[in-house]
Amino acid sequence: MSRPWRLLDTGVRPASENMALDRVLLESCQAGAPNTLRFLRFKPSALIGFHQSASQELDLDYCRSEDIAVSRRITGGGALYCDQGQIGWELFVDRRTFATADMLEIARAACGMAVRGLQALGVEAAFRPRNDIEVHGRKIGGTGGAFDGEALLYQGTVLIDFDIERMLRVLRIPREKLSDKAIASARERITTLRALLGDDTPTVSSVQAALVRSFEEGLGATFEEGDLSAAERGLYETYKVEMASDDWVFETDRPSLDVATASAMRKTAGGLVRVMATVDTVRGRLKQVFITGDFFIDPRRTIVDLEAALRDLALERIDETVAGFFASRKVDMLLLTPDDLWACCTRLSGRSRPRIMNASAFDVLVVGLGPGGASAALAAARAGLSVLAVDKRRAVGEPVQCAEFVPLTMGRYAKPALVQRISGMRSVLPSGTCEHSDFPGLMVDRAAFDQALAADASKAGALLRVQTVLKAVLPDERVAILRAPEGGVERAGYKVLIAADGPHSAVARSIGLAPLKTVETRQYQVPLCRPYADTDIWLSDEFPGGYGWLFPRGPVANVGLGADRHLAADLKAPLERLCAVLAQEGVVGAEILGRTGGSIPVGGLRASLVHEDILFVGDAAGLTHPITGAGIASAVVSGERAGLAAAAFLAGDAGALDGYAEDMQDEFAESLARAVARREWLMERWHTPEAHLDATHKRGWIAFREYFAP
């Protein structure tokens, strides 16, 4: 018998709470929770896609004046206006559920189920590619989806009622730019259950019940009403605060001057044609397009389809797209010709050309100036290439977000930043048994370590820039969009791009790659009460998905822990208990000198380290050890190899970039695969009686021979 699906109805909530629940449920699905169907509704909210800029997409002054909350989704796509007049539905499922990774096929299947649910209510709904649900050419629901590792989130809406004017105002379409006739024309593109069914409009619960039946039938599933687990509730309390913050909502914000409103009008024998669009002036692309007028056209949906064809289109492609659109279909127009619409649309391409500051081109662009990025920049510059290396932080290496240990093989790199030597490791098992093993290594000042590598890269000729944020990568153009410290926007051309921007890589996100699986860490720096030459490791069910540590660093110690937030929502309490025990034993002082933390990738290597002329290194490549969290050495090695591969490729070796990926596989794949397997084995045992057994942790920790057994 198949596992029942969970059915959740989370009711009407503020946008930040709904976004927090999306994140919790997607991460929970990734961790093995039951497939889930969730219904949700919003208090008045303006939602931008994960990659969008709030100030570009939304009229923020209008939102504030109307008490409309602004939030960022965890998925991509365009900006939306949501309120109680819409029902949202979401599927959180194993990515194998639809037996395909083709998002269009998934959209066709998921929308087909929603369509059948609406048809059961007496609505003649149909699927409109790519991802809309319509009734006689008028949109009644939009959908979209995203993969996250082995999980899929597919979500959609059903419009019960809708305020088109409010939507246009929220989405930065100025009210004064649209005539009453134009607004009426825009309204014709959308319909609602109330417009279709009038007094027979079903209740929210009736619509949800119809959708449940159609999803059960389409998925062959049985739904059981459920609730959040304790771990999910803990994550939710954390995420709802984070996702209500300006740091989240405006994370990828750009100045509003980067977006413009373009319009064109043409009087024809068949009537007046108006075209209005929002234009991304940095990327040189149309965003939203509205075509209105007093002309006649059949089929009526032609204009809706043309608007869809122009959405998110490069300005230089308007001409060919409009021409190709009319060449591929039969359209009847009374005294209006395809050339009239073509002429009006193509005028947009000359209205809002991108405003570009300091356009530049380099052989190699490096994103991120940690050990991997600095090593890549150094190797490429020494090979004679022109190199631009950027980092979003105020200073290279700061803030420090690691325990600052490197293996002896890093000795020549560690010399300028060496703090002390490490001789061994003490691994403390759940029973209290302590096993000592040789573990020679070096403790470094991580900020100084990174800064020394970056200084060498600069001396070799690389141009380094901090406080420079990657906004987008345009692979087809080999261009990166960067925001400079003073807020200006720059297009930086490259021949090879090296992504060294960590586990939450903006490069990976920009080109559509799935995020890496991560665990969270928290660390305090405290006084060390006596000389220490060993690292201490605590293996316990109190740190599920990770471990506790003490790394001595001269007169201070880094005491921290890592854990999987699906299993341990609170890292602060167990860390403070560990510090209190160590203080009581006289190992460390009670004063906390510094706090830090971060994310560590634990899913192993990316499926591909090379995407055309983009190479991934270090944490961004998934080269961090999934058990220990060690990643500095592999970052340096991969960065150097990537820089050399870029040089060879640009010198004419067509296979050099693929050769880099093969080298990384040969050097790291086996050990990382073993660590991933051990981690997955441990994940099945956390919070069970086995998690309290020494034998379990010996199997899952590198200091024991059981770890390396078949």
Beta-carbon contacts of residue 156 (< 8 Å; ≥ 6 apart): 88, 89, 90, 110, 111, 114, 133, 141, 142, 143, 144
As a whole number of angstroms, the distance between CA 635 and CA 620 comes to: 9
Structure tokens at 296: 């006649």
Instruction: Give me the mean pLDDT over the 585-610 stretch.
Output: 93
Tally of CB atoms within 10 A around 75: 20
Q: Percent of the chain, pLDDT > 90?
A: 60
Sign of the dihedral defined by the CA atoms of residues 24, 26, 32, 37, in that order: positive
Gap between the Cα atoms of 428 and 446, Å rounded = 26
How far is Cα of residue 149 from the mean position of the Cα atoms in its chain? Answer: 11
Out of 180-184, 610-614, 667-671, least confident range: 180-184
pLDDT-derived band of residue 50, with 50, 70 and 90 as boundaries?
Answer: low
**How large is the average pLDDT for residues 542-563?**
94
Torsion angles phi and psi, residue 545, rounded to 5: 85, 5
Mean pLDDT of 364-388: 96
Looking at the chain, how many residues does it have?
Answer: 710
Q: In this structure, what DSSP letter does residue 353 have?
A: -
Q: For 288-337, what is each residue's pLDDT tens digit?
A: 787 766 566 667 577 778 888 888 887 777 877 777 777 777 776 656 67
| Separation CA 533–CA 535 (nearest Å) | 7
Structure confidence by residue, pLDDT tens digits, 160-211: 998 888 888 888 764 544 556 556 666 778 999 999 999 999 999 999 999 9
Question: Is residue 349's pLDDT more than 70?
Answer: no
Q: Give pLDDT tens digits for 221-272.
A: 999 999 999 889 988 998 898 888 887 887 554 434 345 567 777 777 666 6
Q: What is the pTM of this model?
A: 0.57
Q: How far apart are CA 161 and CA 193, in angstroms?
A: 7
pLDDT at residue 90, rounded to an integer: 97
Is 566:28 a contact under the CB 8 Å cutoff? yes
Q: Work out the pLDDT band at 356, boundaries 50, 70, 90.
A: very low
Q: Is 494 helix (H, G, I), strand (E, B) or coil?
A: strand
Distances (CA, A) of 318 to 207, 280, 312, 352, 622: 40, 14, 11, 13, 39
pLDDT recorded at residue 329:
72
pLDDT class of 46 with cuts at 50, 70, 90: very high
Burial class (CB in 10 A: 0-12, 13-18, 19+), 588: buried
Q: What angle do CA 114, 115, 117 make, to 5 degrees?
A: 65
Q: Which of 92-96, 102-106, 356-360 is the most confident on average?
A: 92-96
Q: What is the pLDDT of residue 586?
A: 95
CB of 152 within 8 A of CB of 98? yes
Q: How many CB atoms lie within 10 A of CB 36?
A: 20
Top-confidence range, 48-57, 289-298, 332-341, 665-674? 665-674
Q: What is the DSSP letter of 564?
A: -
Query: 3-class DSSP state for residue 485?
Result: coil
What are the tens digits of pLDDT across the range 101-153?
Answer: 777 789 899 999 999 999 999 999 999 887 889 999 899 998 888 777 788 99
**Rounded-to-integer distance, Cα 572 and Cα 569, Å:** 9
Gyration radius of the chain's alpha carbons: 28
Helices (H) and strands (E) in the chain, counts: 23, 32
Contacts of 571 (CB under 8 A, 6+ apart): 520, 521, 522, 561, 563, 565, 597
CA distance 187 to 165: 8
Collect all residues with Cβ–Cβ distance below 8 Å to 375 and sequence separation of at least 6. 453, 457, 635, 636, 637, 639, 640, 643
Q: Give pLDDT, residue 102.
A: 78
pLDDT for 422 equals 95
User: What mean pLDDT is reported for the chain?
Assistant: 87
Q: Three-state SS for 271?
A: strand
- d(C-alpha 71, C-alpha 96), whole Å: 30
Amino acid at 586: G
Nearest alpha carbon to residue 414 among 443, 440, 438, 375? 443
The most confident of the ranges 346-355, 392-401, 635-644 is 635-644
- How many other C-beta atoms lie within 10 A of the C-beta of residue 127? 19
d(CA 423, CA 682) in angstroms, rounded, equals: 28
The per-residue pLDDT for 678 is 95
**Would you state the structure tokens that stand for residue 92, as one six-digit string?**
């959180």
